[in-house]
Amino acid sequence: MLAVVASWDLYLATRSALVLGNVGLVQIAPVLLFTFVAGHVADRYDRRRTAMFMQSAVAVFGLILAFSGEHRGVPLIYSGLFLIATARAFQWPATTAMLPQTLPMEHLTNAVSWAGGFREMATVAGPALGGALIAISGSESVYLGQAIFAMIGAYCFWSMDLPARPVEEHPEPGLKATIEGLRFVWREKLILSVITLDLLAVMFSGATALLPIYAADILNVGAPGLGWLRAAPAVGAGIMSVYLAHRASIGAAGKWLLVSVALFGVATIGFAVSTQAWLSFLMLFLTGAFDAISVVLRISLMQIRTPDPLRGRVAAVNALFISSSNQWGAVESGVVANLMGTVPSVVFGGAMTIVVVIIIGYLSRSLWEWRN
């Protein structure tokens, strides 16, 4: 909901692709600043309380945006997005590291699929509801609704009952302990290859940042249509996640990962050149479906191969890569669209994704041979 309303308000206020692209820059800055500290916090302190506190902060910032009235211009929206991104930078490692504490390890891949499915269902409902609320009652109702749902999320974290981790597993303080997650990823070449592939592929395929332009000027579907376009990848990802949860584990994981990311790039190109709303929705649906395969395989690999005392810090490194790909992708899309036009920039991004798959598949033997 927040992504839809913030991008819509910014575009209506400025009609600038560059302003939309800079949303990514505003949200990547906290990740770059606080990722390693956030991972250390997740491994040293109570993960449940960390997630609860940060989700509460997200709710507070949403309320500020909801009641700011005429003062809710570009600076305030950017500031709100920066503070919310800071809270999420601390929340992500904590929540990611919590999952293996809740179930036996042999069920982890299946649980990752189900968790991804439910998350994508929420991602479907959010943009659709956000677009409808903008059309019916304006932006204020969307910011307020986002804050209410964030408070419900904080309550859910508060109500969880996780098993205590042994005290001796808590890492020692200091810079060395803080960056140990990065050192672990560097040593594990398969994990490094997988998250590098995701970083580069998604960074070039940042079409999501330009969706307000497609909705308003290319497809002419308005705010409700923008909500459905934003929801389309989540619909595809949710259905694919549920499918993966019901099938046996993917054996040739490395080959499937490379194929799915390449098809993600193909679908991005299809979306770029489409001038029909239904076809654009279908192409975005496919980007979500192919991305879900990558997400399930990547998260399962990292959770299984990472010892619990390091899970928060390794999750922080993963968050840095993922957030960097999403937000720098938004920046890249805005800059390239400003230089060469919206449609050519998205075509370029999809083509570069395919090139990245070919290069990493050629260079990384461990990825090509990886079996889950």
Domain ranges of the chain: 2-164+172-369
Contact of 35 with 320, CB cutoff 8 Å:
yes
The 10s digit of each residue's pLDDT in 106-126 is: 787 788 778 777 777 776 677
The 10s digit of each residue's pLDDT in 229-267 is: 877 888 888 888 888 877 766 778 888 889 999 999 999
Q: How confident is the model at residue 152 (pLDDT cuts 50, 70, 90)?
A: very high
Consecutive H or E run containing 217: none
**What mean pLDDT is predicted for residues 295-302?**
81
**What mean pLDDT is predicted for residues 15-19?**
77
How many Cα atoms within 13 Å fall on the side-chain side of residue 259? 7
Which one is predicted more confidently, 323 or 261? Answer: 261
What is the reported pTM?
0.68
pLDDT at 215: 83
**How far from the centroid of its chain's Cα atoms is residue 110's Cα?**
20
Cβ neighbours around 89 below 10 Å, total:
26
pLDDT at 329: 67
3-class DSSP assignment, residue 206: coil
CATH of 2-164+172-369, picked from 2.30.30.100, 3.40.50.2300, 1.20.1250.20, 3.30.565.10, is 1.20.1250.20
Nearest partner of 214 among 197, 191, 196, 232, judged by Cα:
232
Cβ neighbours around 32 below 10 Å, total:
13
Lowest mean per-residue pLDDT among 17-21, 74-78, 90-94:
17-21
pLDDT at 168: 44
